Structure 1
Amino acid sequence: MLRFNSWLGAVLLAATGYAIADEQAYKGQNLLQSGVDVLGQPLVYPSGTPRVTSDIITLAPGEAGKPHIHQIPMFAYVLSGVISVDYGDHGVRTYQQGEALLEAQNVVHFGFNPGSEPVSLLVVYVGSTELSNAELP
Protein backbone atom coordinates (compact mmCIF):
# COMPACT_ATOMS: atom_id res chain seq x y z
CA MET A 1 0.00 0.00 0.00
CA LEU A 2 2.83 2.37 0.84
CA ARG A 3 4.38 1.63 -2.54
CA PHE A 4 1.05 2.42 -4.29
CA ASN A 5 0.66 5.71 -2.40
CA SER A 6 4.21 6.70 -3.34
CA TRP A 7 3.54 5.82 -6.97
CA LEU A 8 0.24 7.74 -6.96
CA GLY A 9 1.94 10.76 -5.40
CA ALA A 10 4.67 10.67 -8.05
CA VAL A 11 2.08 10.44 -10.84
CA LEU A 12 0.10 13.37 -9.44
CA LEU A 13 3.25 15.44 -9.01
CA ALA A 14 4.34 14.65 -12.55
CA ALA A 15 0.90 15.50 -13.91
CA THR A 16 0.95 18.79 -12.02
CA GLY A 17 4.43 19.51 -13.39
CA TYR A 18 3.24 18.89 -16.94
CA ALA A 19 0.24 21.17 -16.43
CA ILE A 20 2.53 23.94 -15.16
CA ALA A 21 4.92 23.34 -18.05
CA ASP A 22 2.03 23.58 -20.54
CA GLU A 23 0.92 26.90 -19.06
CA GLN A 24 4.46 28.24 -19.48
CA ALA A 25 5.00 26.91 -23.01
CA TYR A 26 4.68 30.46 -24.33
CA LYS A 27 3.83 33.90 -23.07
CA GLY A 28 0.92 35.74 -24.57
CA GLN A 29 -1.84 38.20 -23.91
CA ASN A 30 -5.26 36.63 -23.45
CA LEU A 31 -7.71 38.35 -25.77
CA LEU A 32 -10.88 36.52 -24.79
CA GLN A 33 -12.06 33.51 -22.83
CA SER A 34 -15.80 32.87 -22.70
CA GLY A 35 -18.50 30.30 -23.21
CA VAL A 36 -21.15 32.86 -24.21
CA ASP A 37 -21.54 35.22 -27.17
CA VAL A 38 -21.89 39.02 -27.04
CA LEU A 39 -25.59 38.67 -26.18
CA GLY A 40 -24.90 36.31 -23.27
CA GLN A 41 -26.15 33.21 -25.09
CA PRO A 42 -24.20 29.95 -24.57
CA LEU A 43 -22.02 28.94 -27.52
CA VAL A 44 -23.30 26.00 -29.55
CA TYR A 45 -20.77 23.96 -31.51
CA PRO A 46 -22.01 22.42 -34.75
CA SER A 47 -22.06 18.71 -35.36
CA GLY A 48 -20.40 17.23 -38.42
CA THR A 49 -16.89 17.46 -39.81
CA PRO A 50 -14.97 20.30 -38.08
CA ARG A 51 -13.75 23.23 -40.15
CA VAL A 52 -12.02 26.40 -38.92
CA THR A 53 -11.88 29.40 -41.26
CA SER A 54 -10.20 32.76 -40.68
CA ASP A 55 -10.69 35.97 -42.63
CA ILE A 56 -9.79 39.62 -42.43
CA ILE A 57 -12.84 41.78 -43.11
CA THR A 58 -12.44 45.47 -43.96
CA LEU A 59 -15.23 48.06 -44.14
CA ALA A 60 -14.69 51.54 -45.56
CA PRO A 61 -16.04 54.58 -43.68
CA GLY A 62 -19.85 54.50 -43.87
CA GLU A 63 -19.91 50.97 -45.34
CA ALA A 64 -22.30 48.35 -43.94
CA GLY A 65 -22.46 44.61 -44.33
CA LYS A 66 -25.64 42.73 -45.24
CA PRO A 67 -27.88 41.37 -42.48
CA HIS A 68 -26.77 37.80 -41.78
CA ILE A 69 -26.78 35.05 -39.18
CA HIS A 70 -24.11 32.68 -37.82
CA GLN A 71 -25.14 29.17 -36.82
CA ILE A 72 -21.58 28.54 -35.66
CA PRO A 73 -19.31 30.28 -33.13
CA MET A 74 -17.33 33.20 -34.54
CA PHE A 75 -14.45 34.99 -32.80
CA ALA A 76 -13.60 38.53 -33.94
CA TYR A 77 -10.75 40.87 -33.06
CA VAL A 78 -10.80 44.52 -34.15
CA LEU A 79 -7.42 45.15 -35.76
CA SER A 80 -8.09 48.82 -36.51
CA GLY A 81 -10.90 51.34 -36.49
CA VAL A 82 -14.38 51.14 -34.96
CA ILE A 83 -17.28 48.88 -35.92
CA SER A 84 -20.87 48.98 -34.75
CA VAL A 85 -23.14 45.95 -34.98
CA ASP A 86 -26.93 46.19 -35.10
CA TYR A 87 -28.53 43.19 -33.37
CA GLY A 88 -32.12 44.29 -34.01
CA ASP A 89 -34.19 43.95 -30.82
CA HIS A 90 -30.94 43.40 -28.88
CA GLY A 91 -29.65 46.87 -29.75
CA VAL A 92 -26.47 48.24 -31.31
CA ARG A 93 -23.02 47.61 -29.85
CA THR A 94 -19.76 49.29 -30.80
CA TYR A 95 -16.32 47.65 -30.76
CA GLN A 96 -12.98 49.45 -31.07
CA GLN A 97 -9.43 48.57 -32.03
CA GLY A 98 -8.02 45.97 -29.65
CA GLU A 99 -11.39 44.52 -28.58
CA ALA A 100 -12.21 40.84 -28.99
CA LEU A 101 -15.67 39.27 -29.06
CA LEU A 102 -17.65 36.12 -29.70
CA GLU A 103 -20.26 37.18 -32.22
CA ALA A 104 -23.97 36.50 -31.67
CA GLN A 105 -25.14 33.09 -32.80
CA ASN A 106 -28.54 32.52 -34.39
CA VAL A 107 -29.44 36.25 -34.25
CA VAL A 108 -29.75 38.35 -37.40
CA HIS A 109 -27.29 41.25 -37.29
CA PHE A 110 -25.10 43.44 -39.50
CA GLY A 111 -21.97 45.46 -38.93
CA PHE A 112 -21.30 48.99 -40.13
CA ASN A 113 -18.45 51.44 -39.94
CA PRO A 114 -19.61 54.65 -38.22
CA GLY A 115 -16.12 56.17 -38.29
CA SER A 116 -14.05 58.20 -40.73
CA GLU A 117 -11.32 55.54 -41.05
CA PRO A 118 -11.50 51.98 -42.43
CA VAL A 119 -12.18 49.22 -39.92
CA SER A 120 -10.46 45.82 -40.13
CA LEU A 121 -11.43 42.69 -38.25
CA LEU A 122 -9.75 39.34 -37.89
CA VAL A 123 -12.54 36.75 -37.75
CA VAL A 124 -12.28 33.04 -36.95
CA TYR A 125 -15.24 30.78 -37.68
CA VAL A 126 -15.39 27.54 -35.65
CA GLY A 127 -17.69 25.60 -37.91
CA SER A 128 -18.21 22.45 -39.88
CA THR A 129 -18.20 21.45 -43.53
CA GLU A 130 -21.98 21.04 -43.32
CA LEU A 131 -22.72 24.68 -42.37
CA SER A 132 -21.74 27.96 -43.97
CA ASN A 133 -19.87 30.57 -41.94
CA ALA A 134 -22.68 33.10 -42.38
CA GLU A 135 -26.08 32.97 -44.02
CA LEU A 136 -28.41 35.65 -45.32
CA PRO A 137 -31.79 35.43 -43.55
Structure 2
Amino acid sequence: MIKNYYLSFLGLLIGMVWSCSTGKTPSKTPFSETLIESHLSWNGDSLPSYPEGKPKISIVKVTIPPHSELSKHYHPVINAGFMLKGELTVIDEKGNTLHLKAGDPIIEVVDVVHYGKNEGDEPVEIVVFYAGTEGKEIVVKESKTN
Protein backbone atom coordinates (compact mmCIF):
# COMPACT_ATOMS: atom_id res chain seq x y z
CA MET A 1 0.00 0.00 0.00
CA ILE A 2 2.70 2.49 1.00
CA LYS A 3 4.81 1.49 -2.01
CA ASN A 4 1.94 2.13 -4.44
CA TYR A 5 1.26 5.49 -2.76
CA TYR A 6 4.88 6.59 -3.16
CA LEU A 7 5.12 5.45 -6.77
CA SER A 8 1.83 7.10 -7.77
CA PHE A 9 2.78 10.33 -6.03
CA LEU A 10 6.26 10.43 -7.55
CA GLY A 11 4.89 9.68 -11.02
CA LEU A 12 2.37 12.50 -10.75
CA LEU A 13 4.97 15.01 -9.55
CA ILE A 14 7.55 14.06 -12.17
CA GLY A 15 4.88 14.40 -14.85
CA MET A 16 3.94 17.86 -13.54
CA VAL A 17 7.58 19.01 -13.51
CA TRP A 18 8.11 17.62 -17.01
CA SER A 19 5.10 19.42 -18.46
CA CYS A 20 6.14 22.70 -16.83
CA SER A 21 9.76 22.46 -17.98
CA THR A 22 9.34 21.40 -21.60
CA GLY A 23 7.64 24.59 -22.71
CA LYS A 24 5.41 22.56 -25.05
CA THR A 25 1.95 23.79 -25.90
CA PRO A 26 -0.51 21.85 -23.74
CA SER A 27 -2.60 19.21 -25.46
CA LYS A 28 -6.37 19.53 -25.46
CA THR A 29 -6.54 15.93 -24.28
CA PRO A 30 -5.06 14.92 -20.90
CA PHE A 31 -2.22 12.42 -21.10
CA SER A 32 0.59 11.03 -19.02
CA GLU A 33 4.05 9.80 -19.91
CA THR A 34 6.23 7.53 -17.81
CA LEU A 35 9.70 9.09 -17.77
CA ILE A 36 11.44 6.38 -15.80
CA GLU A 37 10.40 3.24 -13.96
CA SER A 38 12.70 0.70 -12.37
CA HIS A 39 13.51 -1.37 -9.31
CA LEU A 40 17.17 -0.37 -9.83
CA SER A 41 19.05 2.86 -9.14
CA TRP A 42 21.11 4.52 -11.89
CA ASN A 43 24.22 2.46 -11.04
CA GLY A 44 22.35 -0.87 -11.25
CA ASP A 45 21.88 -1.48 -7.51
CA SER A 46 18.50 -2.84 -6.40
CA LEU A 47 16.36 -0.38 -4.49
CA PRO A 48 15.70 -1.32 -0.85
CA SER A 49 12.27 -1.98 0.61
CA TYR A 50 10.38 1.05 1.83
CA PRO A 51 10.95 1.59 5.55
CA GLU A 52 8.25 1.06 8.15
CA GLY A 53 6.87 4.16 9.78
CA LYS A 54 4.84 7.23 8.97
CA PRO A 55 5.52 8.19 5.32
CA LYS A 56 7.11 11.55 4.63
CA ILE A 57 7.50 12.92 1.10
CA SER A 58 10.03 15.70 0.51
CA ILE A 59 10.46 17.62 -2.74
CA VAL A 60 13.72 19.55 -3.00
CA LYS A 61 15.00 21.79 -5.79
CA VAL A 62 18.80 21.65 -5.89
CA THR A 63 20.80 24.34 -7.70
CA ILE A 64 24.47 23.74 -8.40
CA PRO A 65 26.41 26.77 -9.66
CA PRO A 66 28.67 26.49 -12.74
CA HIS A 67 32.08 24.88 -12.14
CA SER A 68 31.19 23.58 -8.66
CA GLU A 69 30.37 20.27 -7.03
CA LEU A 70 28.32 18.88 -4.19
CA SER A 71 30.09 17.43 -1.17
CA LYS A 72 30.16 13.65 -0.89
CA HIS A 73 26.91 12.42 0.61
CA TYR A 74 24.42 9.57 0.63
CA HIS A 75 20.66 9.15 0.83
CA PRO A 76 19.26 6.63 3.34
CA VAL A 77 15.87 6.79 1.56
CA ILE A 78 14.62 6.08 -1.95
CA ASN A 79 14.59 9.16 -4.16
CA ALA A 80 14.21 10.15 -7.78
CA GLY A 81 14.85 13.37 -9.63
CA PHE A 82 14.32 15.31 -12.81
CA MET A 83 16.88 17.65 -14.37
CA LEU A 84 15.32 20.98 -15.25
CA LYS A 85 18.42 22.80 -16.46
CA GLY A 86 22.12 22.28 -17.16
CA GLU A 87 24.35 19.21 -17.24
CA LEU A 88 25.59 17.19 -14.28
CA THR A 89 28.07 14.37 -13.77
CA VAL A 90 27.33 12.04 -10.84
CA ILE A 91 30.05 9.75 -9.48
CA ASP A 92 29.51 7.06 -6.84
CA GLU A 93 31.97 5.43 -4.42
CA LYS A 94 32.33 2.45 -6.76
CA GLY A 95 33.54 4.67 -9.61
CA ASN A 96 30.29 4.48 -11.59
CA THR A 97 29.56 7.67 -13.53
CA LEU A 98 26.31 9.08 -14.87
CA HIS A 99 25.96 12.14 -17.13
CA LEU A 100 22.64 13.98 -16.92
CA LYS A 101 21.28 16.82 -19.03
CA ALA A 102 18.12 18.92 -18.89
CA GLY A 103 15.06 16.71 -19.30
CA ASP A 104 16.69 13.56 -17.91
CA PRO A 105 15.08 11.61 -15.05
CA ILE A 106 17.16 9.75 -12.45
CA ILE A 107 16.49 7.06 -9.87
CA GLU A 108 19.15 7.88 -7.31
CA VAL A 109 21.37 5.47 -5.40
CA VAL A 110 20.45 4.62 -1.79
CA ASP A 111 23.06 4.25 0.97
CA VAL A 112 25.89 4.76 -1.54
CA VAL A 113 28.29 7.70 -1.15
CA HIS A 114 28.31 9.88 -4.26
CA TYR A 115 28.55 13.46 -5.45
CA GLY A 116 27.59 15.54 -8.45
CA LYS A 117 29.66 18.09 -10.31
CA ASN A 118 28.66 20.82 -12.70
CA GLU A 119 31.44 21.32 -15.21
CA GLY A 120 29.34 23.61 -17.40
CA ASP A 121 28.86 27.35 -17.66
CA GLU A 122 25.22 27.45 -16.49
CA PRO A 123 23.62 26.48 -13.19
CA VAL A 124 22.22 22.98 -12.80
CA GLU A 125 18.67 22.73 -11.48
CA ILE A 126 17.28 19.37 -10.43
CA VAL A 127 14.07 18.59 -8.55
CA VAL A 128 14.40 15.57 -6.25
CA PHE A 129 11.52 13.61 -4.69
CA TYR A 130 12.38 11.73 -1.49
CA ALA A 131 10.19 8.88 -0.18
CA GLY A 132 11.21 8.72 3.47
CA THR A 133 9.65 8.39 6.86
CA GLU A 134 9.08 10.88 9.63
CA GLY A 135 12.26 11.43 11.64
CA LYS A 136 14.63 9.96 9.03
CA GLU A 137 17.19 12.15 7.25
CA ILE A 138 17.03 12.33 3.46
CA VAL A 139 20.64 13.43 2.88
CA VAL A 140 23.70 12.65 5.00
CA LYS A 141 26.60 14.93 4.03
CA GLU A 142 29.49 12.80 5.17
CA SER A 143 31.26 9.66 4.12
CA LYS A 144 29.51 6.48 5.15
CA THR A 145 31.57 4.03 7.20
CA ASN A 146 31.25 0.36 6.24
User: Normalized against structure 2, the TM-score is what?
Assistant: 0.72
How many Å apart are 1:90 and its aligned residue? 3.1
Q: 2:131 aligned to 126, 132, 136, which one?
A: 126
For the 8 Å contact 2:61–2:126, the answer to whether it is kept is: yes
- State the match for 2:88 in structure 1: 83
Unaligned runs of 5+ in 2: 1-29
For the 8 Å contact 1:48–1:130, the answer to whether it is kept is: no
SS state at 1:38 partner: coil
Structure 1 segments of 4+ aligned residues over 3 angstroms from their partners: none
Moved more, 86-95 or 56-65: 86-95
- State the match for 2:53 in structure 1: 48
Unaligned runs of 5+ in 1: 1-25
- State the match for 2:107 in structure 1: 102
Q: Root-mean-square deviation (CA), in Å?
A: 1.5
Cα deviation code 1:68-127 (max 9, x no counterpart): 111111111000100111112232221111110110111100111011111100100011
- State the match for 2:35 in structure 1: 31
For the 8 Å contact 1:53–1:124, the answer to whether it is kept is: yes
Q: Which has the larger radius of gyration?
A: 1
Moved more, 55-64 or 36-45: 36-45
- State the match for 1:66 in structure 2: 71
User: Normalized against structure 1, the TM-score is what?
Assistant: 0.77
